[in-house]
A and B are shown apart, each in its own frame.
Chain A
Amino acid sequence: MRDHVIAELVELGKIDDSIILATADLGFNVVEKYSSQFPNRYINTGIAEQSLTSIAAGLALEGNKVFTYSIGNFPTLRCIEQLRNLVCYHNANVKVLAVGGGFAYGTLGMTHHATEDIAMMRALPKMDVYVPADAIEAVLCLRELYKKEGPGYLRMARGKEPYIHKQNESIDVTKVIPIKESGEDVIILAAGTILSEAVRAFDILVSQNIKCSVYSVPCIKPLDEQNVRSLARKAKLLVTIEEHTVIGGLGGAVAEAISGISSHASLLRFGLNNEFTSIVGSQNYLRSVYHLDANEVAERVIRMIKGA
Protein backbone atom coordinates (compact mmCIF):
# COMPACT_ATOMS: atom_id res chain seq x y z
CA MET A 1 0.00 0.00 0.00
CA ARG A 2 2.70 2.48 0.98
CA ASP A 3 4.68 1.76 -2.20
CA HIS A 4 1.61 2.44 -4.31
CA VAL A 5 0.97 5.68 -2.49
CA ILE A 6 4.55 6.88 -2.95
CA ALA A 7 4.44 5.83 -6.61
CA GLU A 8 1.29 7.89 -7.03
CA LEU A 9 2.96 10.82 -5.27
CA VAL A 10 5.79 10.56 -7.80
CA GLU A 11 3.23 10.80 -10.61
CA LEU A 12 1.60 13.82 -8.98
CA GLY A 13 5.05 15.29 -8.38
CA LYS A 14 5.77 15.17 -12.10
CA ILE A 15 2.81 17.37 -12.93
CA ASP A 16 2.77 19.52 -9.80
CA ASP A 17 5.94 21.31 -8.83
CA SER A 18 4.41 22.48 -5.54
CA ILE A 19 4.48 19.00 -3.99
CA ILE A 20 7.02 18.40 -1.21
CA LEU A 21 7.53 15.13 0.67
CA ALA A 22 8.85 15.43 4.21
CA THR A 23 9.83 12.52 6.43
CA ALA A 24 11.02 12.32 10.01
CA ASP A 25 13.66 9.77 9.09
CA LEU A 26 11.39 6.87 8.23
CA GLY A 27 10.53 5.24 4.93
CA PHE A 28 13.75 3.40 4.09
CA ASN A 29 13.31 1.69 0.71
CA VAL A 30 9.94 3.39 0.37
CA VAL A 31 10.44 7.14 -0.10
CA GLU A 32 13.53 6.81 -2.31
CA LYS A 33 11.36 6.47 -5.39
CA TYR A 34 10.24 10.00 -4.71
CA SER A 35 13.41 11.49 -3.22
CA SER A 36 15.65 10.30 -6.05
CA GLN A 37 13.38 11.93 -8.60
CA PHE A 38 12.72 15.17 -6.73
CA PRO A 39 15.70 15.71 -4.40
CA ASN A 40 14.92 19.42 -4.09
CA ARG A 41 11.37 18.73 -3.04
CA TYR A 42 12.19 16.16 -0.41
CA ILE A 43 13.29 16.83 3.17
CA ASN A 44 14.23 14.67 6.11
CA THR A 45 13.87 16.51 9.41
CA GLY A 46 15.62 13.80 11.37
CA ILE A 47 13.73 12.01 14.10
CA ALA A 48 11.75 15.08 15.03
CA GLU A 49 8.03 14.98 14.30
CA GLN A 50 7.21 18.28 15.94
CA SER A 51 9.50 20.16 13.61
CA LEU A 52 8.45 17.91 10.72
CA THR A 53 4.88 19.09 11.14
CA SER A 54 5.70 22.73 11.87
CA ILE A 55 8.10 23.02 8.96
CA ALA A 56 5.47 21.40 6.75
CA ALA A 57 3.00 24.05 7.91
CA GLY A 58 5.48 26.84 7.15
CA LEU A 59 6.13 25.40 3.70
CA ALA A 60 2.41 25.00 3.05
CA LEU A 61 1.69 28.59 4.04
CA GLU A 62 4.16 29.59 1.33
CA GLY A 63 2.13 27.75 -1.30
CA ASN A 64 3.51 24.22 -1.22
CA LYS A 65 1.49 21.02 -0.98
CA VAL A 66 3.33 19.15 1.72
CA PHE A 67 3.03 15.44 2.51
CA THR A 68 4.54 14.32 5.81
CA TYR A 69 5.46 10.67 6.19
CA SER A 70 6.15 8.50 9.21
CA ILE A 71 4.85 5.56 11.24
CA GLY A 72 1.38 5.60 12.84
CA ASN A 73 1.54 7.57 16.05
CA PHE A 74 4.59 9.67 15.24
CA PRO A 75 3.32 12.15 12.62
CA THR A 76 -0.04 12.29 14.42
CA LEU A 77 -0.09 11.96 18.20
CA ARG A 78 3.50 13.06 18.77
CA CYS A 79 2.76 16.41 17.16
CA ILE A 80 -0.98 16.69 17.67
CA GLU A 81 -0.75 20.29 18.88
CA GLN A 82 1.36 21.37 15.94
CA LEU A 83 -1.31 19.80 13.74
CA ARG A 84 -4.01 21.65 15.63
CA ASN A 85 -2.42 25.10 15.83
CA LEU A 86 -0.17 25.38 12.81
CA VAL A 87 -1.76 23.04 10.29
CA CYS A 88 -5.49 23.01 11.00
CA TYR A 89 -6.00 26.51 12.41
CA HIS A 90 -4.12 27.94 9.43
CA ASN A 91 -5.84 25.51 7.05
CA ALA A 92 -2.35 24.69 5.81
CA ASN A 93 -2.06 22.31 2.90
CA VAL A 94 -0.38 19.52 4.85
CA LYS A 95 -1.31 15.89 4.31
CA VAL A 96 -0.14 13.38 6.89
CA LEU A 97 0.78 10.00 5.46
CA ALA A 98 1.11 7.41 8.21
CA VAL A 99 2.10 3.82 7.68
CA GLY A 100 1.40 0.96 10.04
CA GLY A 101 -2.17 1.85 11.06
CA GLY A 102 -3.68 -0.44 13.69
CA PHE A 103 -1.67 -3.60 14.38
CA ALA A 104 0.25 -3.57 11.09
CA TYR A 105 3.52 -3.47 13.00
CA GLY A 106 2.29 -6.25 15.25
CA THR A 107 5.53 -7.49 16.72
CA LEU A 108 7.00 -4.02 17.29
CA GLY A 109 4.87 -3.40 20.34
CA MET A 110 2.27 -0.91 21.54
CA THR A 111 4.30 2.22 20.71
CA HIS A 112 4.04 1.19 17.08
CA HIS A 113 0.35 0.24 17.14
CA ALA A 114 -1.73 3.20 16.03
CA THR A 115 -4.99 2.60 17.83
CA GLU A 116 -6.26 6.08 18.75
CA ASP A 117 -5.01 8.05 15.76
CA ILE A 118 -8.28 8.14 13.83
CA ALA A 119 -10.18 9.54 16.79
CA MET A 120 -7.60 12.19 17.51
CA MET A 121 -7.15 13.29 13.93
CA ARG A 122 -10.88 13.24 13.36
CA ALA A 123 -11.41 15.61 16.26
CA LEU A 124 -9.31 18.32 14.61
CA PRO A 125 -11.35 20.88 12.68
CA LYS A 126 -10.68 20.89 8.92
CA MET A 127 -8.79 17.58 9.06
CA ASP A 128 -10.11 14.95 6.64
CA VAL A 129 -9.42 11.32 7.54
CA TYR A 130 -8.96 8.44 5.11
CA VAL A 131 -8.38 4.80 6.05
CA PRO A 132 -8.02 2.72 2.87
CA ALA A 133 -8.53 -1.05 2.82
CA ASP A 134 -6.15 -1.87 0.00
CA ALA A 135 -3.64 -0.29 -2.35
CA ILE A 136 -6.31 0.64 -4.87
CA GLU A 137 -8.32 2.55 -2.32
CA ALA A 138 -5.13 4.07 -0.95
CA VAL A 139 -4.13 5.60 -4.27
CA LEU A 140 -7.63 6.99 -4.76
CA CYS A 141 -7.61 8.39 -1.22
CA LEU A 142 -4.29 10.09 -1.95
CA ARG A 143 -5.83 11.69 -5.03
CA GLU A 144 -8.76 12.97 -2.96
CA LEU A 145 -6.37 14.41 -0.40
CA TYR A 146 -4.27 15.98 -3.13
CA LYS A 147 -7.32 17.72 -4.60
CA LYS A 148 -8.31 19.18 -1.25
CA GLU A 149 -6.96 22.56 -0.12
CA GLY A 150 -6.14 22.04 3.53
CA PRO A 151 -5.25 19.34 6.04
CA GLY A 152 -5.75 15.64 5.61
CA TYR A 153 -4.73 12.31 7.06
CA LEU A 154 -4.08 9.06 5.23
CA ARG A 155 -3.80 6.08 7.54
CA MET A 156 -2.14 3.32 5.63
CA ALA A 157 -1.31 -0.26 6.42
CA ARG A 158 2.14 -1.58 5.77
CA GLY A 159 2.62 -3.44 2.51
CA LYS A 160 1.63 -6.56 0.60
CA GLU A 161 -1.99 -6.43 1.76
CA PRO A 162 -4.40 -8.49 -0.34
CA TYR A 163 -6.35 -6.60 -2.99
CA ILE A 164 -10.05 -6.17 -2.31
CA HIS A 165 -10.74 -4.20 -5.46
CA LYS A 166 -9.70 -4.80 -9.02
CA GLN A 167 -7.36 -2.46 -10.88
CA ASN A 168 -9.32 0.29 -12.63
CA GLU A 169 -12.49 -0.60 -10.75
CA SER A 170 -14.67 2.47 -10.63
CA ILE A 171 -14.99 3.36 -6.96
CA ASP A 172 -15.63 6.57 -5.09
CA VAL A 173 -13.57 6.53 -1.89
CA THR A 174 -15.50 9.46 -0.44
CA LYS A 175 -18.56 7.17 -0.14
CA VAL A 176 -19.24 3.87 1.56
CA ILE A 177 -18.33 1.21 -0.98
CA PRO A 178 -20.36 -1.99 -1.35
CA ILE A 179 -18.09 -5.04 -1.25
CA LYS A 180 -20.37 -8.04 -0.59
CA GLU A 181 -24.12 -8.32 -0.66
CA SER A 182 -26.57 -11.09 0.18
CA GLY A 183 -29.19 -9.01 1.96
CA GLU A 184 -29.51 -6.27 4.53
CA ASP A 185 -30.32 -7.82 7.90
CA VAL A 186 -26.72 -7.37 8.96
CA ILE A 187 -24.64 -4.58 7.45
CA ILE A 188 -20.94 -4.55 8.24
CA LEU A 189 -18.88 -1.38 7.80
CA ALA A 190 -15.12 -1.75 7.90
CA ALA A 191 -12.28 0.75 7.70
CA GLY A 192 -8.81 -0.32 6.66
CA THR A 193 -7.31 -3.68 5.81
CA ILE A 194 -9.43 -5.36 8.44
CA LEU A 195 -12.05 -5.27 5.71
CA SER A 196 -10.68 -8.69 4.78
CA GLU A 197 -11.91 -10.04 8.14
CA ALA A 198 -15.31 -8.50 7.47
CA VAL A 199 -15.42 -10.30 4.13
CA ARG A 200 -14.57 -13.61 5.81
CA ALA A 201 -17.19 -12.96 8.46
CA PHE A 202 -19.66 -12.35 5.64
CA ASP A 203 -18.95 -15.81 4.23
CA ILE A 204 -19.57 -17.40 7.63
CA LEU A 205 -22.79 -15.45 8.13
CA VAL A 206 -24.09 -16.32 4.68
CA SER A 207 -23.37 -19.98 5.35
CA GLN A 208 -25.64 -19.59 8.39
CA ASN A 209 -28.38 -18.14 6.17
CA ILE A 210 -27.99 -14.64 7.55
CA LYS A 211 -28.65 -11.93 5.02
CA CYS A 212 -25.65 -9.72 5.13
CA SER A 213 -23.72 -6.95 3.35
CA VAL A 214 -20.23 -5.57 3.71
CA TYR A 215 -19.11 -2.03 2.94
CA SER A 216 -15.71 -0.46 2.95
CA VAL A 217 -15.54 2.99 4.55
CA PRO A 218 -12.25 4.55 3.45
CA CYS A 219 -13.38 8.09 4.21
CA ILE A 220 -14.13 8.48 7.89
CA LYS A 221 -14.20 12.25 7.75
CA PRO A 222 -16.19 13.69 6.16
CA LEU A 223 -18.27 10.55 6.61
CA ASP A 224 -20.78 9.60 3.92
CA GLU A 225 -23.52 10.26 6.46
CA GLN A 226 -26.39 10.07 4.03
CA ASN A 227 -25.62 6.51 2.98
CA VAL A 228 -24.64 5.42 6.49
CA ARG A 229 -28.01 6.63 7.78
CA SER A 230 -29.82 4.94 4.95
CA LEU A 231 -28.05 1.64 5.72
CA ALA A 232 -28.87 2.07 9.41
CA ARG A 233 -32.53 2.42 8.52
CA LYS A 234 -32.54 -0.74 6.40
CA ALA A 235 -30.53 -3.07 8.61
CA LYS A 236 -31.51 -4.97 11.73
CA LEU A 237 -27.95 -4.88 12.95
CA LEU A 238 -25.22 -2.46 11.94
CA VAL A 239 -21.64 -3.53 12.63
CA THR A 240 -18.41 -1.55 12.51
CA ILE A 241 -14.94 -3.09 12.50
CA GLU A 242 -11.65 -1.25 12.82
CA GLU A 243 -8.16 -1.79 14.19
CA HIS A 244 -8.64 1.12 16.53
CA THR A 245 -10.36 1.99 19.76
CA VAL A 246 -14.15 1.90 19.48
CA ILE A 247 -14.11 5.47 20.79
CA GLY A 248 -14.05 8.13 18.12
CA GLY A 249 -13.00 6.12 15.10
CA LEU A 250 -15.24 4.50 12.51
CA GLY A 251 -17.57 3.13 15.19
CA GLY A 252 -17.74 6.49 16.89
CA ALA A 253 -18.33 8.34 13.64
CA VAL A 254 -21.13 5.97 12.62
CA ALA A 255 -22.72 6.22 16.08
CA GLU A 256 -22.70 10.00 15.79
CA ALA A 257 -24.15 9.90 12.28
CA ILE A 258 -27.06 7.63 13.12
CA SER A 259 -27.81 9.30 16.45
CA GLY A 260 -29.49 12.04 14.44
CA ILE A 261 -32.21 9.81 13.03
CA SER A 262 -35.21 8.60 14.99
CA SER A 263 -35.05 4.91 14.18
CA HIS A 264 -32.07 2.85 13.20
CA ALA A 265 -30.51 -0.55 13.66
CA SER A 266 -28.57 -1.46 16.77
CA LEU A 267 -24.91 -0.75 16.37
CA LEU A 268 -22.25 -3.28 17.30
CA ARG A 269 -18.75 -1.81 17.30
CA PHE A 270 -15.70 -4.02 17.01
CA GLY A 271 -12.39 -2.51 18.07
CA LEU A 272 -10.24 -2.02 21.12
CA ASN A 273 -12.30 -1.44 24.22
CA ASN A 274 -10.54 1.19 26.32
CA GLU A 275 -7.34 -0.84 26.28
CA PHE A 276 -3.84 -0.94 24.89
CA THR A 277 -2.28 -3.81 23.04
CA SER A 278 0.23 -5.43 25.33
CA ILE A 279 0.79 -8.77 23.69
CA VAL A 280 3.34 -9.49 21.00
CA GLY A 281 2.28 -11.05 17.76
CA SER A 282 1.50 -10.76 14.10
CA GLN A 283 -1.30 -8.56 12.87
CA ASN A 284 -3.58 -11.58 12.43
CA TYR A 285 -2.72 -12.92 15.85
CA LEU A 286 -3.48 -9.57 17.48
CA ARG A 287 -6.78 -9.37 15.61
CA SER A 288 -7.82 -12.65 17.18
CA VAL A 289 -6.56 -11.68 20.66
CA TYR A 290 -8.57 -8.48 20.54
CA HIS A 291 -11.70 -10.19 19.14
CA LEU A 292 -11.51 -8.63 15.71
CA ASP A 293 -11.08 -11.75 13.56
CA ALA A 294 -13.77 -13.07 11.27
CA ASN A 295 -14.79 -15.98 13.52
CA GLU A 296 -15.34 -13.77 16.55
CA VAL A 297 -17.16 -11.15 14.55
CA ALA A 298 -19.44 -13.75 12.97
CA GLU A 299 -20.09 -15.44 16.31
CA ARG A 300 -21.10 -12.24 18.08
CA VAL A 301 -23.25 -11.17 15.17
CA ILE A 302 -25.01 -14.52 15.15
CA ARG A 303 -25.63 -14.29 18.90
CA MET A 304 -27.06 -10.80 18.50
CA ILE A 305 -29.20 -11.54 15.48
CA LYS A 306 -30.59 -14.79 16.88
CA GLY A 307 -31.20 -13.08 20.20
CA ALA A 308 -29.10 -15.60 22.08
Chain B
Amino acid sequence: MKSEELARKIRIHAIKMVSHAHASHIGGILSCADIIAVLYNNIAKVYPNDPKNENRDRIILSKGHNGVAIYAVLAEMGFYSTDVLDTYGDNGGIFSSHISHKLVPGVELSTGSLGQGVCAACGMALNGKIRNKDYHVYAIVGDGECNEGSVWEIAMFSAQYKLDNFTVIIDRNKMQAMGNCNEVMDMEPLDKKWESFGWNVIMVADGNNHHALKEAFNKPIVEGKPTVIIANTVKGKGVSFMENSLLWHYRDPQGGDLKNALAELEENL
Protein backbone atom coordinates (compact mmCIF):
# COMPACT_ATOMS: atom_id res chain seq x y z
CA MET B 1 0.00 0.00 0.00
CA LYS B 2 1.19 3.53 -0.68
CA SER B 3 1.63 5.56 2.48
CA GLU B 4 -0.77 8.23 1.16
CA GLU B 5 -3.46 5.60 0.80
CA LEU B 6 -2.71 4.30 4.28
CA ALA B 7 -3.00 7.81 5.71
CA ARG B 8 -6.32 8.27 3.96
CA LYS B 9 -7.59 5.02 5.48
CA ILE B 10 -6.39 6.07 8.93
CA ARG B 11 -8.32 9.32 8.55
CA ILE B 12 -11.50 7.58 7.42
CA HIS B 13 -11.33 5.09 10.28
CA ALA B 14 -10.59 7.93 12.69
CA ILE B 15 -13.57 10.03 11.60
CA LYS B 16 -15.89 7.05 11.93
CA MET B 17 -14.44 5.95 15.27
CA VAL B 18 -14.52 9.37 16.87
CA SER B 19 -18.04 9.90 15.64
CA HIS B 20 -19.17 6.49 16.88
CA ALA B 21 -17.72 7.06 20.33
CA HIS B 22 -18.55 10.76 20.57
CA ALA B 23 -14.88 11.20 21.37
CA SER B 24 -12.53 14.18 21.15
CA HIS B 25 -9.18 14.96 19.56
CA ILE B 26 -9.95 14.38 15.88
CA GLY B 27 -7.93 17.49 15.00
CA GLY B 28 -4.69 16.11 16.40
CA ILE B 29 -5.38 12.64 15.03
CA LEU B 30 -5.67 14.10 11.54
CA SER B 31 -2.54 16.21 11.93
CA CYS B 32 -0.32 13.23 12.79
CA ALA B 33 -1.94 10.67 10.46
CA ASP B 34 0.70 11.22 7.78
CA ILE B 35 3.61 10.89 10.18
CA ILE B 36 2.14 7.64 11.47
CA ALA B 37 1.38 6.26 8.01
CA VAL B 38 4.89 6.93 6.74
CA LEU B 39 6.50 5.61 9.90
CA TYR B 40 4.63 2.30 9.90
CA ASN B 41 4.53 1.83 6.13
CA ASN B 42 7.96 2.94 5.01
CA ILE B 43 10.36 3.46 7.88
CA ALA B 44 9.98 1.33 10.97
CA LYS B 45 10.52 -2.41 11.25
CA VAL B 46 7.18 -3.79 12.42
CA TYR B 47 5.96 -7.38 12.58
CA PRO B 48 2.16 -7.62 12.44
CA ASN B 49 2.26 -11.39 12.95
CA ASP B 50 4.81 -11.17 15.73
CA PRO B 51 4.09 -7.86 17.46
CA LYS B 52 6.69 -8.36 20.20
CA ASN B 53 9.50 -9.40 17.83
CA GLU B 54 12.72 -8.41 19.54
CA ASN B 55 14.05 -6.63 16.46
CA ARG B 56 11.03 -4.42 15.97
CA ASP B 57 11.48 -0.70 16.09
CA ARG B 58 9.69 0.77 19.07
CA ILE B 59 7.03 3.35 18.23
CA ILE B 60 5.65 5.31 21.18
CA LEU B 61 2.71 7.65 20.82
CA SER B 62 3.53 10.14 23.53
CA LYS B 63 0.62 12.39 22.55
CA GLY B 64 -1.59 9.59 23.80
CA HIS B 65 -4.87 11.36 23.09
CA ASN B 66 -4.43 10.49 19.41
CA GLY B 67 -4.55 6.75 20.07
CA VAL B 68 -7.17 6.31 17.35
CA ALA B 69 -4.54 6.94 14.69
CA ILE B 70 -2.42 4.08 16.05
CA TYR B 71 -5.38 1.73 16.49
CA ALA B 72 -6.28 2.37 12.87
CA VAL B 73 -2.79 1.97 11.44
CA LEU B 74 -2.24 -1.27 13.37
CA ALA B 75 -5.48 -2.68 11.96
CA GLU B 76 -4.53 -1.64 8.43
CA MET B 77 -1.07 -3.16 8.86
CA GLY B 78 -2.66 -6.46 9.85
CA PHE B 79 -2.01 -6.60 13.60
CA TYR B 80 -5.73 -7.29 13.98
CA SER B 81 -8.89 -6.99 11.94
CA THR B 82 -10.19 -3.58 10.94
CA ASP B 83 -13.64 -4.80 12.10
CA VAL B 84 -12.76 -4.33 15.78
CA LEU B 85 -12.19 -0.63 15.19
CA ASP B 86 -15.98 -0.28 15.19
CA THR B 87 -15.95 -1.04 18.92
CA TYR B 88 -13.98 2.10 19.74
CA GLY B 89 -15.26 3.61 22.99
CA ASP B 90 -17.84 0.84 23.50
CA ASN B 91 -18.51 -0.44 27.00
CA GLY B 92 -16.14 -3.30 27.67
CA GLY B 93 -14.10 -2.48 24.58
CA ILE B 94 -10.33 -2.60 24.33
CA PHE B 95 -9.73 0.83 22.82
CA SER B 96 -9.54 3.79 25.15
CA SER B 97 -9.17 7.29 23.73
CA HIS B 98 -5.80 7.68 25.34
CA ILE B 99 -3.80 4.84 23.96
CA SER B 100 -3.66 1.62 26.00
CA HIS B 101 -1.33 -1.31 25.39
CA LYS B 102 -3.20 -3.75 27.59
CA LEU B 103 -5.29 -5.63 25.07
CA VAL B 104 -4.16 -4.15 21.77
CA PRO B 105 -1.38 -6.05 19.98
CA GLY B 106 1.26 -3.72 18.60
CA VAL B 107 0.75 -0.90 21.07
CA GLU B 108 4.06 -0.48 22.83
CA LEU B 109 3.08 1.75 25.73
CA SER B 110 0.01 3.26 27.35
CA THR B 111 0.16 7.02 27.48
CA GLY B 112 -2.20 9.91 27.99
CA SER B 113 -0.54 12.03 30.61
CA LEU B 114 1.62 14.25 28.44
CA GLY B 115 5.38 14.29 28.59
CA GLN B 116 5.65 10.73 29.90
CA GLY B 117 5.63 8.43 26.88
CA VAL B 118 8.61 10.14 25.34
CA CYS B 119 10.54 9.60 28.58
CA ALA B 120 9.81 5.87 28.69
CA ALA B 121 10.77 5.76 25.01
CA CYS B 122 14.09 7.27 26.01
CA GLY B 123 14.55 4.37 28.46
CA MET B 124 13.90 1.91 25.65
CA ALA B 125 16.53 3.63 23.51
CA LEU B 126 18.96 3.51 26.42
CA ASN B 127 18.34 -0.23 26.66
CA GLY B 128 19.25 -0.52 22.98
CA LYS B 129 22.58 1.09 23.75
CA ILE B 130 23.29 -0.87 26.94
CA ARG B 131 22.37 -4.19 25.33
CA ASN B 132 23.73 -3.46 21.83
CA LYS B 133 20.41 -3.90 20.09
CA ASP B 134 19.91 -2.46 16.67
CA TYR B 135 16.28 -1.43 16.96
CA HIS B 136 15.38 2.26 16.69
CA VAL B 137 12.95 4.07 18.98
CA TYR B 138 10.48 6.62 17.61
CA ALA B 139 8.37 8.83 19.85
CA ILE B 140 5.59 10.99 18.48
CA VAL B 141 5.20 14.10 20.61
CA GLY B 142 2.83 17.05 20.38
CA ASP B 143 4.10 20.61 20.15
CA GLY B 144 1.83 21.57 23.04
CA GLU B 145 3.22 18.56 24.89
CA CYS B 146 6.62 20.23 24.80
CA ASN B 147 5.29 22.49 27.59
CA GLU B 148 5.85 19.57 29.94
CA GLY B 149 9.12 19.88 31.83
CA SER B 150 9.70 16.15 31.68
CA VAL B 151 10.16 16.42 27.89
CA TRP B 152 13.21 18.56 28.53
CA GLU B 153 14.51 16.20 31.17
CA ILE B 154 14.91 13.53 28.51
CA ALA B 155 16.09 16.10 26.00
CA MET B 156 19.15 16.60 28.21
CA PHE B 157 19.47 12.92 29.11
CA SER B 158 19.31 11.61 25.54
CA ALA B 159 22.06 13.97 24.42
CA GLN B 160 24.23 13.17 27.45
CA TYR B 161 23.84 9.44 26.83
CA LYS B 162 24.33 9.86 23.05
CA LEU B 163 21.12 8.07 22.11
CA ASP B 164 21.47 8.19 18.34
CA ASN B 165 18.99 5.31 18.15
CA PHE B 166 16.24 7.64 19.31
CA THR B 167 14.08 9.88 17.12
CA VAL B 168 11.43 12.22 18.46
CA ILE B 169 8.89 13.41 15.91
CA ILE B 170 7.05 16.57 16.89
CA ASP B 171 3.62 16.89 15.36
CA ARG B 172 3.78 20.65 15.21
CA ASN B 173 0.16 21.50 14.47
CA LYS B 174 0.54 24.77 16.37
CA MET B 175 -2.56 24.37 18.51
CA GLN B 176 -3.12 23.06 22.00
CA ALA B 177 -6.10 22.62 24.27
CA MET B 178 -6.83 26.29 24.96
CA GLY B 179 -5.59 28.01 21.84
CA ASN B 180 -2.68 28.63 19.55
CA CYS B 181 0.60 27.35 20.97
CA ASN B 182 2.36 30.67 20.51
CA GLU B 183 -0.37 32.41 22.50
CA VAL B 184 -0.79 29.83 25.26
CA MET B 185 2.89 29.15 25.87
CA ASP B 186 5.25 30.13 23.14
CA MET B 187 7.91 27.46 22.68
CA GLU B 188 9.59 29.15 19.73
CA PRO B 189 12.20 28.86 18.54
CA LEU B 190 11.49 25.17 19.09
CA ASP B 191 14.25 24.00 16.78
CA LYS B 192 16.84 26.12 18.57
CA LYS B 193 15.72 24.76 21.92
CA TRP B 194 16.27 21.15 20.84
CA GLU B 195 19.48 22.10 19.08
CA SER B 196 20.81 23.77 22.20
CA PHE B 197 20.09 20.58 24.15
CA GLY B 198 22.43 18.78 21.74
CA TRP B 199 19.98 17.19 19.34
CA ASN B 200 20.20 16.69 15.60
CA VAL B 201 17.25 18.78 14.39
CA ILE B 202 15.46 18.09 11.11
CA MET B 203 12.74 20.50 10.03
CA VAL B 204 9.95 19.38 7.75
CA ALA B 205 8.22 22.38 6.23
CA ASP B 206 5.16 20.36 5.29
CA GLY B 207 4.72 17.54 7.75
CA ASN B 208 1.66 16.26 5.95
CA ASN B 209 3.69 15.69 2.78
CA HIS B 210 4.80 12.09 2.57
CA HIS B 211 7.74 12.70 0.30
CA ALA B 212 9.10 15.29 2.73
CA LEU B 213 8.52 13.02 5.72
CA LYS B 214 10.29 10.11 4.06
CA GLU B 215 13.21 12.31 3.18
CA ALA B 216 13.45 13.43 6.80
CA PHE B 217 13.22 9.91 8.22
CA ASN B 218 15.78 8.63 5.74
CA LYS B 219 18.45 11.16 6.57
CA PRO B 220 21.45 9.36 8.03
CA ILE B 221 21.66 9.48 11.80
CA VAL B 222 24.25 11.75 13.31
CA GLU B 223 26.49 9.52 15.36
CA GLY B 224 26.19 10.20 19.06
CA LYS B 225 23.19 12.50 18.75
CA PRO B 226 19.48 11.89 19.18
CA THR B 227 17.31 13.25 16.38
CA VAL B 228 14.20 15.37 16.51
CA ILE B 229 12.06 15.79 13.43
CA ILE B 230 9.92 18.88 13.75
CA ALA B 231 7.08 18.32 11.32
CA ASN B 232 4.90 21.33 10.56
CA THR B 233 1.44 19.90 10.23
CA VAL B 234 -2.08 21.18 10.00
CA LYS B 235 -4.48 20.40 12.79
CA GLY B 236 -7.53 18.71 11.27
CA LYS B 237 -5.64 18.01 8.02
CA GLY B 238 -7.70 16.41 5.27
CA VAL B 239 -11.12 17.70 6.24
CA SER B 240 -11.47 21.28 5.09
CA PHE B 241 -13.76 22.50 7.84
CA MET B 242 -11.64 20.93 10.57
CA GLU B 243 -8.36 22.39 9.43
CA ASN B 244 -6.77 24.86 11.82
CA SER B 245 -9.89 24.91 13.95
CA LEU B 246 -9.57 24.49 17.71
CA LEU B 247 -13.22 23.44 17.89
CA TRP B 248 -12.22 20.06 16.47
CA HIS B 249 -9.90 19.40 19.36
CA TYR B 250 -13.14 18.64 21.17
CA ARG B 251 -16.08 18.17 18.81
CA ASP B 252 -17.00 14.85 17.22
CA PRO B 253 -18.46 14.81 13.74
CA GLN B 254 -22.11 13.83 13.49
CA GLY B 255 -24.82 14.10 10.84
CA GLY B 256 -23.87 16.41 8.00
CA ASP B 257 -20.38 16.99 9.39
CA LEU B 258 -19.72 13.26 9.41
CA LYS B 259 -21.06 12.84 5.88
CA ASN B 260 -19.09 15.77 4.53
CA ALA B 261 -15.87 14.74 6.25
CA LEU B 262 -16.08 11.23 4.83
CA ALA B 263 -17.01 12.54 1.41
CA GLU B 264 -13.94 14.77 1.35
CA LEU B 265 -11.64 11.97 2.42
CA GLU B 266 -13.11 9.47 0.01
CA GLU B 267 -12.79 11.77 -2.99
CA ASN B 268 -9.27 12.94 -2.16
CA LEU B 269 -6.22 11.15 -3.54
Contacts and interface: CB of A to CB of B under 8 A. Distances in A.
B109 A43 contact: no
A199 interface: no
Q: Which of A55, A57, A81 has the most CB of B within 10 A?
A: A55
Contacts of A58: 119-127
Interface string A38-74: 0011010110101100111111111110000000000
A81 B131 CA distance: 28
Given A46-B157, A48-B157, A54 B109 contact: no
Name the residue in B112, B120, B128, B156 with the highest tally of chain A Cβ atoms < 10 Å from its Cβ: B120
Contact of B119 (A51, A63, A90): A51
Contact of B109 (A51, A61, A63, A82): A61
A57 B113 contact: no
A85 B121 CA distance: 14
Contact of B127 (A59, A82, A86, A89): A59
Given A50-B149, A86-B116, A43 B122 contact: no
B46 to A, nearest CB: 17
B245 interface: no
Nearest to A81: B113
Contact of A62 (B116, B119, B131, B150): B131
Residue of A50, A60, A90 ringed by the most chain B CB atoms within 10 A? A50
Interface residues of B, number: 28
A50 B156 CA distance: 13
A157 interface: no
A50 B120 contact: no
B119 A50 contact: yes
B69 interface: no
Nearest to B133: A62
Chain A interface main SS type:
helix
Given A46-B156, A50-B149, A59 B119 contact: no
Interface in B111-163: 111-113, 115-116, 119-128, 130-131, 149-150, 153-154, 156-157, 160-161
A45 B112 CA distance: 23
From A40, A63, A85, residue with most partner B Cβ within 10 Å: A85
A59 B119 CA distance: 11
B160 A46 contact: yes
Contacts of B119: 50-51, 54-55, 58, 82, 86
Nearest to B108: A61
Contacts of B153: 45-46, 48, 50-51
Interface in A159-197: none
A20 interface: yes
B77 to A, nearest CB: 21
Interface string B226-250: 0000000000000000000000000
In the complex, the 3 A-B pairs of residues with the closest C-beta atoms, listed nearest first:
A58-B123, A54-B119, A51-B153
